[in-house]
Chains A and B, each alone.
Chain A
Amino acid sequence: MKTAMKALINKDLKAITKNKQLFASIIVVPLIMGVFLPLLFVVIFHFVPDEMGDLQPLLNLLPAKGIKDGQTMVLSLLINYLMPGFFLMIPLMAASVMAASAFVSEKEKSTLETLLLSPLSLREIFTAKVLSAFILSMLVSLATFLLMTLAFETAVYLLMGRLVALHFSWVLILLLVGPAVSLLAITLIVRTSAKSQTAMEAQQRSVFLILPLLLLVIGQLTGVMLLDAWMLLGLGIVLGAIAYVLMWGAVKKITYEKLMGI
């Protein structure tokens, strides 16, 4: 990759850490979804286990291989089946905030024209922008995953004196479904960025991507559909393919005039 593209990615990543408001919005969702929420589940389950009684039909669906007791099974259900839906909102949100900032705020602040006048081609600028949003969202996801695991296992260990195994599906979530969701969010922001005048507006457009994730969570909760590794694999591949196709469609149609809104 050209050093110029690296410089651009660097600049975008640095800019986000310098902007307190944006940085806060990137940090808050992961903390809520990745740390607060699982801790809340564990605490509720520990102190008022009856509240979790509703999960019984779900538990019956679970492949109970190797899991001895009911308590561990519920905890495993929480972390391995319920959390992924919430967790995927993290790459979604981080990627949207970053993409909106990287594309639309350059336009908003009239720095886009200067960037377009550089010797980087439109495609290279586009790629650099997509990559910076993607990199940020992956970093945030991985960091949150580590924090989540640490918080969850510590809480479970302290309260109930055990550890709960994470499923292989987390690998797929981190390395396949999460990245696919990020790419999809970035594509959406990028495709509408020509129409959005402010970064805020662009971010708001991506909010509706949360809906399918909520459906996923509800699906899991009600036991309509329990995602196993194979389904996650399929989901990741399909989402990734959609994102890729939409992204290239956007890249092909992009022109200086369109970017500047003429």
Chain B
Amino acid sequence: MHAIITTGLGKTYPGGKEALKDLSLQLDEGEVFGFLGPNGAGKTTAVKLLTGMLNPTAGSALVMGHDPEKDPERVHALCGVVTENARMYDHLSGLENLMFYGALYGQNSFESRERADMLLAGLALHDAKDKKLGAYSTGMRQKLSFARALMHRPRMLFLDEPTSGMDPESGIKVNQMITRLAKEEGVTVFLCTHQLRYAQDICTRFGLISEGAMLMTGTLPELQNAVLPGIRVRIRADKLPAGLPLQEAGNGVFEGSLGEEGEVADLVRKIVLQGGDLYRVEVEKPSLEEIYFALTRNREAAK
């Protein structure tokens, strides 16, 4: 079964702003889908449509087999959601908050307590569990929201900027949890983020959206092939034979792009056979960040 299927999903806000256009997407179970795009691109709007908080003005969606427009409760029972606007109660402690949301999912106080304790410990919040949420820092709140979304062992997670405001250790911890949930428990993750380095590490597939329109979807290699094909080599050598596709970048370092990995061997062979001394060879594929910028730049240029 697909975790998410959308067909021509679109949302125009009452004011007339078309925030999402014709989104057609399929996610398999266990995928970690990175939904990337600049501010105002429509990411949060998409999450709200998929969780039934907004009604689509075009198209339709199925999340874990249920239509979020018609059966939002069923979708909610299967999904955990972290968004910026979904806060918890300042007058309750971290633990009380989690136990309350556990109760909303039908857990008795024993179950919810056990689950909450486990999640709090996993996110290094155990020492703050009896503190009122009002006294939590931004990052602590964000961690607690993540814990809240996991209280009912959801089959699917919608995470809208889950690590914003967290320190690097916490960010890594959360990302590890996301990866583990996906790999070991087959949880599907729909992750909106601006942190492209993290996204590159934890997502199995990506979608790049801009101004409400999906520009491209695919795995990292697919995106690399489509947007910035080829690989980059950086070589440090004492001398280079003429006619190689490399440019001097100073300090005896030469850089250039090649079509595929096989060409690297050719290049190295040529240098060595001509009597050059090689000190270092680095081969690199474009990062997600580079692809992102290339794509958004292309789009700017097209306008």
Contacts and interface: CB of A to CB of B under 8 A. Distances in A.
A2 B105 CA distance: 10
B52 A256 contact: yes
Given A15-B91, A260-B53, A118 B76 contact: yes
A251 B182 CA distance: 38
A121 interface: yes
A223 to B, nearest CB: 49
Contact of B53 (A11, A19, A116): A116
A118 B148 contact: no
A110 B85 contact: yes
A110 B104 contact: no
Contacts of A222: none
Interface in A1-37: 2-4, 7-8, 11, 15, 18-19
A113 B103 contact: no
Contacts of B86: 110, 113-114, 117
Interface residues of B, number: 30
Contact of A110 (B74, B81, B87, B108): B87
B148 A114 contact: yes
A257 B103 contact: no
A111 B101 CA distance: 11
B91 A119 contact: no
Interface in B60-108: 72-74, 76-77, 81, 83, 85-91, 100-101, 103-106, 108
Interface string A98-114: 00000000000111011
A117 B13 contact: no
Given A113-B86, A114-B87, A119 B55 contact: no
B87 A117 contact: no
A222 to B, nearest CB: 46
Nearest to B68: A256
A111 B141 CA distance: 13
B54 A11 contact: no
A255 interface: yes
A255 B104 contact: no
Nearest to B15: A262
Contact of B77 (A3, A110, A111, A119): A119
Nearest to A115: B104
A120 interface: yes
B14 interface: yes
Given A111-B89, A119-B77, A257 B104 contact: no
B53 A113 contact: yes
B163 interface: no
Contact of A4 (B72, B81, B103): B103
B51 interface: yes
A118 B87 contact: no
Contacts of B106: 2-4, 119
Contact of A256 (B72, B89, B90): B72
B77 A15 contact: no
Nearest to A255: B55
Contact of B54 (A18, A114, A122, A256): A256
Interface in A86-139: 109-111, 113-122
A262 B44 CA distance: 14
B76 A117 contact: yes
Contact of B85 (A8, A11, A113): A113
Contact of B76 (A3, A15, A119): A119
A11 B52 contact: no
A119 B81 CA distance: 12
A59 to B, nearest CB: 52
A119 B73 contact: yes
B87 A109 contact: yes
Given A3-B103, A4-B105, A117 B90 contact: no
A92 B150 CA distance: 40
B55 A257 contact: yes
A259 to B, nearest CB: 9
A111 B88 contact: yes
A15 B92 CA distance: 9
A256 B85 CA distance: 14
A206 B144 CA distance: 36
A114 B101 contact: yes
Nearest to A125: B104
Nearest to B71: A121
B264 to A, nearest CB: 50
Interface string A218-262: 000000000000000000000000000000000000011100101
A8 B52 CA distance: 21
B55 A18 contact: no
Interface of B: 13-14, 51-55, 72-74, 76-77, 81, 83, 85-91, 100-101, 103-106, 108, 148, 152
Given A3-B108, A11-B100, A114-B86, 20 more contacts: A4-B104, A7-B103, A7-B104, A109-B89, A110-B86, A110-B87, A111-B88, A113-B83, A113-B86, A114-B87, A114-B88, A117-B53, A117-B76, A118-B101, A118-B104, A119-B76, A119-B152, A120-B73, A122-B72, A262-B13
The 9 closest A-B pairs by CB, nearest first: A7-B103, A119-B77, A118-B104, A114-B86, A110-B87, A113-B86, A119-B76, A4-B104, A121-B73
